[in-house]
Amino acid sequence: MFLWLLCLGIALCMVLFKLKRRRLHRLASKIPGSDDELPFIGLAHKFTGTTEVVVDPVDIELLLKTSLEKDDLHRFIRNVIGNGGIFAPVPIWRRRRKIMVPAFSPKIVETFMEIFSEQSEKLVSILADCAGKGEVTMEPYLCRYTLDSICQTTMGITINAQNNPDAPFLRALKNMLNLVCERIFHLWLQPEWLYKFFSQYTTHQKYLKEIHDFVDEVSIEVIQKKRREIKKEKYLKSEVDRNFGLSNYKTRSFLDLLIEFSGGENGYTDLELREEIITLTVAGTDTSAVSVGYTLKLLAMYPKVQDQLYQELLDVFGTSDRPIVKEDLSKLKYLERVVKESLRLFPPVPFIIRKVLKDISLPSGRILPAGSGAAISIWGLHRHPKYWGPDAEIFDPDRFLPERFDLKHACSYMPFSSGPRNCIGYQYALMSMKTALSAIVRRYKIIGEESGPVPQIKSKIDIMMKAVDDYKIGLEKRIEYK
Ligand code: HEM
């Protein structure tokens, strides 16, 4: 009986869904659909008939400037991070972005270099146990590196996930994101009322509570301390101090900075702070780990590129074992090109979906109907021969050499998106990636099967794009260092 009622309910919802979108479907059917396949999910998004794929950089520029609202699919992750900046509705996002921007100024991000360096050293010393022992699955090691760095930079705490692979926060976060992903790709898990009937709902709520409790527990002390400081010392500085008085900056966590930048005593509530902290943790952990993972796989597939990179590292560090400092990063020009090329061919976020609130006429002549979703294919852009030439699919870091680099349009390369809602953490991410990669390649030779000019890495869509094999490579210890 229950099953019959359930089927009837689902059928009714589908009919209502179709009826509500009649006009949308009529307009959408007039849009030519020859190249609207998304990577990996192909035309699956077409089942709802409401998402259009855009790969023209001129169209994309306009879309990213005018359509700031995130698509409804993001609501499942919003259950976890609340109104944290990344998926918040525009009116809430605007204020939060304004507060977040100064916290991500290069001057502040630079102060995190020491943390990345220390965590990278820990990573390479842990990897010593895997060297010379065949294939290593790098994903868990890389995620623990990025999570430790994120926790230290956002909350000022060390959860030491690298030495404690069973850290409950790490487990809760991973399982939670898997559940969100499962929901996004399974239509029957999507309606809120229906989800409650599935066992996943109970697990979802359990992990959600664990994540919230953890962040509350560790942040409460910092929040209270900071609030006391503000009260006692009239800590709050003027706008000018905030923007320009950063010369004496010591490493401070984002939590600390967000309390101050949001207005101190009258600023963010404890709930808002929790939302922002979880947002940064979710946005910054897997993304950076995935991009380091893809780069390591590429280095394994292209030994000549790896040799050139190793030579550059020898030029900068010699055979010294000293940890990397921020001045080294600007000297590592080849590393920069390798990272850029890796992010071009394997962008961790292969597409972005924005919500179209009113009909948009794109420069190409297409009309995106109000109520539809617009999927911007970063993957499609980055591999398009029109913008990258006939060798677009080939792995060639030197295409980023200044004398060769000829970007056809600002939006034809955008691993971190573009426009007012682009990735606020891109400098942070690049710094963290380069630090980890340089530490690994200095100490280990990366081994794998050599590839032809076009790298084939089997990938899947999770919350983002990931290699199916979780970045399996071999590691061989290089020379002993002084
Ligand atoms: C390689 C690593 C990363 C990649 C490829 C990446 C990519 C992206 C992309 C594509 C977006 C969506 C922008 C849009 O909708 O237009 C985004 C948003 C965002 N990212 Fe990243 N990201 C990375 C690392 C990070 C890190 C390390 C942090 C923080 C520490 C971070 C924080 C954010 C935030 C807060 C947003 C939301 C911005 C907003 O809506 O205002 N990301 N990122």
Q: Which of 423, 428, 463 best tests ligand 1's pocket when mutated (most atoms within 8 Å of CB)?
A: 423
**Ligand 1 nearest-atom number relative to CA 84:** 35
| Predicted local confidence at residue 235, as pLDDT | 47
Dump pLDDT digits (tens) for 93-128: 999 999 999 999 999 999 999 999 999 999 999 999
| Predicted local confidence at residue 481, as pLDDT | 58
The domains found in the chain, sorted by start residue, are 51-477 (1.10.630.10)
Of the segments 36-50, 150-164, 426-440, which one has the largest average pLDDT value? 426-440
Section 461-481 average pLDDT: 89
More confident call, 239 vs 375: 375
Dump pLDDT digits (tens) for 297-330: 999 999 999 999 999 999 999 988 899 999 999 9
| Predicted local confidence at residue 4, as pLDDT | 57
* Binding-site residue ranges for heme: 423
Section 237-246 average pLDDT: 46
Section 465-476 average pLDDT: 96
CA 459 to centroid of ligand 1, rounded, Å: 20
More confident call, 164 vs 234: 164
Nearest-CA residue for atom 21 of ligand 1: 423
The mean predicted confidence, pLDDT, of the chain is 85
- Cβ(57) – ligand 1 distance below 6 Å: no
CA 269 to centroid of ligand 1, rounded, Å: 23
Section 194-210 average pLDDT: 91
- Cβ(97) – ligand 1 distance below 6 Å: yes
CA 260 to centroid of ligand 1, rounded, Å: 22
Of the segments 37-51, 167-181, 308-322, which one has the largest average pLDDT value? 308-322
ipTM for the assembly: 0.99
CA 134 to centroid of ligand 1, rounded, Å: 34
- Cβ(262) – ligand 1 distance below 6 Å: no
pLDDT range class, residue 203, cuts 50, 70, 90: very high
- Cβ(184) – ligand 1 distance below 6 Å: no
CA 86 to centroid of ligand 1, rounded, Å: 8
Share of the chain above pLDDT 90, in %: 54
- Cβ(415) – ligand 1 distance below 6 Å: yes
For every residue of the chain, which 3-state class applies, written as one string?
Answer: CHHHHHHHHHHHHHHHHHHHCHHHHHHHHCCCCCCCCECCCECHHHHCCCEEEECCHHHHHHHHHHCCCECHHHHHHHHHHCCCHHHCCHHHHHHHHHHHHHHCCHHHHHCCHHHHHHHHHHHHHHHHHHCCCCEEECHHHHHHHHHHHHHHHHHCCCCCCCCCCCCHHHHHHHHHHHHHHHHHHCHHHCCHHHHCCCHHHHHHHHHHHHHHHHHHHHHHHHHHHHHHHHHHHCCCCCHHHHHHCCCCCCCCCHHHHHHHHCCHHHCCCHHHHHHHHHHHHHHHHHHHHHHHHHHHHHHHHCHHHHHHHHHHHHHHHCCCCCCCCHHHHCCCHHHHHHHHHHHHHCCCCCEEEEECCCCEECCCCCEECCCCEEEEEHHHHHCCHHHHCCCCCCCCHHHHCCCCCCCCCHHHCCCCCCCCCCCCCHHHHHHHHHHHHHHHHHHEEEECCCCCCCCCCCEEECCCEEECCCCEEEEEECCCCC
Section 159-164 average pLDDT: 89
